[in-house]
Amino acid sequence: MAYLNNQISLFKKSFKLDKKRFFSVIIFDSLFILVSYIALFLCGMWLNSSASKISGLDLTTLTENAVNDLAALKSFYYGVIVCLILLIIFLFFTWSFFQGFIWTTILKKKFDLDYFKKFLLLNLACIPISIILFFIAVIFLRFFNSIFLFFSITGLNKSLVMLILLILFTFVFLPILLYLINFISILYFYFTNKKKILYSFKNTFNIAVKKIHLLYIPCLIMSLVLVLLSVITIPLNIFPEWITSLFLLIFLIFYSAWIRFYIAAVIAKS
């Protein structure tokens, strides 16, 4: 009962945020999305432009033109590889830069060159973990899809099926997905406090793995809030698609900022 009361208290406290820090996080998230979109857009434009130059190449006959076409094709493929590598490196640095600012803002720490260099190393170390978490999330989503298909062919009342699926999604699958997402946030929390990579992994393992049961209620609360937001945004479907997408993105940015402050409060009290 004490744990539950503490979680309710933390949930209430998560809405009593420092507005300046909260909106700073929102701005950093928005800038990251904008910069990433511009980078992806420019990369896509270059790829389309380069692809148009090699369209219609004829390599079926061994002529001087065919040799030149083959050289152009090889140049295109090398250019694509270089472009994608540079894009990945740019997005990695951009993610690290803005996430560093976000977590130093949340925890009232100083963002400096020493922090950023170590944060880059932390994110490099996180790549295998992120891949593993991603595949686990995909497995759970496919499992949920299998359950959906199973109930769809059982012949049960559609309303009953939808109710069962909503309960499973809200109380089981979505909390699991949010836990997987917040695993990295917990790692960032510990690193930003001490700027020690091994310390961060050790404490994240102790909380997120050994004491995983303590995170169910916070993840469940995040799940319920997300479902509530989804219901609230249903009327937005009357607007054009681009307006609806813009509002959903804004809601998602605000929600993402809130859950990071919330998980920081939860971990601080664990």
The torsion angles phi and psi of 233, rounded to 5 degrees, stand at -85, -5
Residue 95: per-residue pLDDT: 96
Distance CA(163)–CA(71), nearest Å, equals 59
Rg of the chain, C-alpha, whole Å: 23
User: pLDDT 10s per residue in the chain (270 long)?
Assistant: 676 777 777 777 777 778 899 999 999 999 999 999 999 999 989 888 877 766 655 545 544 555 565 666 777 788 888 889 999 999 999 999 999 999 999 999 999 999 999 999 999 999 998 899 889 888 888 888 888 777 777 766 777 777 878 888 888 889 998 999 999 999 999 999 999 999 999 999 998 888 888 888 899 999 999 988 888 888 888 888 888 888 899 999 999 999 999 999 889 887
Query: CA-to-CA distance for 152 and 244, rounded, in angstroms?
Result: 29
Do 262 and 218 meet the contact criterion of CB atoms below 8 Å apart? yes
How many Å apart are CA 13 and CA 221, to the nearest integer? Answer: 13
CA-based torsion, 85, 121, 107, 173: positive or negative: positive
In this prediction, residue 64 carries a pLDDT of 52
Token reading at 32: 């990251």
Residue with tokens 């857009």: 41
Q: What is the pLDDT of residue 69?
A: 59
Give the domain ranges of the chain: 19-106, 111-270
Tracing tokens 């990695």 back to the chain, one arrives at 92
Phi then psi dihedrals of residue 250, to 5 deg: -65, -45
The pTM of the full predicted model, rounded to 2 decimals, is: 0.87
Q: At 85, list the tokens.
A: 């590598």
Q: Is the Cβ–Cβ distance between 191 and 124 less than 8 Å?
A: no
Helix ranges (DSSP H) in the chain: 2-13, 19-54, 64-106, 113-152, 158-168, 174-194, 197-205, 216-232, 241-269
197-205: long-range pairs with CB below 8 Å, 24+ = 197/118, 197/121, 197/122, 197/125, 200/122, 201/125
Closest CA to 33 of 248, 181, 259: 248
Note the pLDDT of residue 54.
64
Q: Please return the burial class of 193, using the count of CB atoms within 10 Å of its CB with bins 0-12, 13-18 and 19+.
A: middle
